[in-house]
Amino acid sequence: MTDQMQALAETGLGADDRARFWRAERYGGLECLAARFVSHRYAPHTHDTYVVGAIVAGCETFMLCGERCYAVPGDLCFVHPGDVHDGEPHGGHYAYRMSYPDAGLMRDIASGLTGRRETEMPYFPEKIVRDPDGAARFVDAHCALGSADTLAADERFVAALTVILQRHARLGAPARLGTEPGPVSRAVDYLDGHYADDVDLATLAGVAGLSRFHLIRAFRKETGLTPHAWLTDRRIRAARPLLTAGRTPGEVALECGFADQSHLTRAFKARVGVTPGRFRDASLGIAGRHAA
């Protein structure tokens, strides 16, 4: 946060790629993705939520916070909200199951563990951990979330996240970008507030108080993205709830600052792994379960 694919006739993933998307609405619209990728490569992107998942086949490689990572079956993977990452097959293909729990859900489960109300976000010191038992629990719970037995699915999912937090997380995340003053933070705040506008580099540099060249270097060093890549990513994050609400890709493209629907589709697929049309249909429950 996933059968977000459009029909096979649409331009989408490679012929051998498969992806299924769904939402668990009782968890605030928790997004779930089960996928097998042979040729698909994610563009660098971020999420407003955590990413918690397990590899079930092959090997995935990805850059996260400037580090090259490799994950294989039996591994659990963690990405914090706002962390820039990509993803692609290593050695042929990989398959995984991913969930995208928001900070509120993770804090609630952490509160159950500690017996106190947690106000800070749980933090995973390691990006990948070797935990075959934890990965198996997660995969089992993830599969159950798509079943009709709601209570059993809920028990499995909460239990799996509880085990994962207990084993691999610590509470009290370090300060993240946007909570500290500085030129890059000012630029990020401006982009987040003007993502639908046609922002130029001179204006952004003026907001940051840096030269244009210096801003690009500082921005990339701090966030892992260039200002333009950040803006595109922010637009995608804005597009997701609009699509979930039933807006058409064409409407969303214009509202979020994309040149046209094709521009949105290319950027969305590169970061989410599926097209905006399929994302919308899956969110509304009107598309069936297509794989592409």
Same domain for 140 and 190? no
In single-letter form, the type of residue at position 79 comes to V
- How far CA 240 is from CA of 40, 65, 90, 269, in Å, comes to 20, 24, 28, 12
Distance CA 218, CA 227 (A): 10
Note whether residue 200 is domain-resident.
Answer: yes
Report whether pLDDT(127) > 90: yes
Number of domains observed in the structure of the chain: 2
Report whether pLDDT(180) > 50: no
Report whether pLDDT(150) > 50: yes
Same domain for 145 and 189? no
Domain end among 129, 146, 171: 171
Look at 164 and 273; give whichever has higher pLDDT: 164
Same domain for 253 and 158? no
Note whether residue 275 is domain-resident.
Answer: yes
pLDDT confidence tier of residue 205, bands split at 50, 70 and 90: confident
User: Which domain, by its residues, includes 70?
Assistant: 41-171
Same domain for 166 and 56? yes
As a whole number of Å, the end-to-end CA separation of the chain is 18
pLDDT of residue 5: 32
Note whether residue 256 is domain-resident.
Answer: yes
The CATH number of the domain where 80 resides is what?
A: 2.60.120.280
Same domain for 117 and 161? yes
Note whether residue 131 is domain-resident.
Answer: yes
Distance CA 264, CA 139 (A): 31
pLDDT, one tens digit per residue, over 16-38 is: 888 888 888 878 788 999 999 99
Note whether residue 116 is domain-resident.
Answer: yes
Residues 268 and 261: beta-carbon distance below 8 Å: no
Note whether residue 10 is domain-resident.
Answer: no
pLDDT of residue 149: 65
pLDDT, one tens digit per residue, over 209-244 is: 887 767 877 888 888 888 888 999 999 999 999 999
Same domain for 120 and 89? yes
Assigned token pair, 143: 């599969």
> Rounded to the nearest 5 degrees, what angle is found at the Cα of 57, between the Cα atoms of 55 and 62?
50
Note whether residue 32 is domain-resident.
Answer: no
Same domain for 245 and 142? no
Same domain for 97 and 190? no
Same domain for 159 and 92? yes
pTM of the model: 0.72
Residues 80 and 173: beta-carbon distance below 8 Å: yes
Same domain for 162 and 73? yes
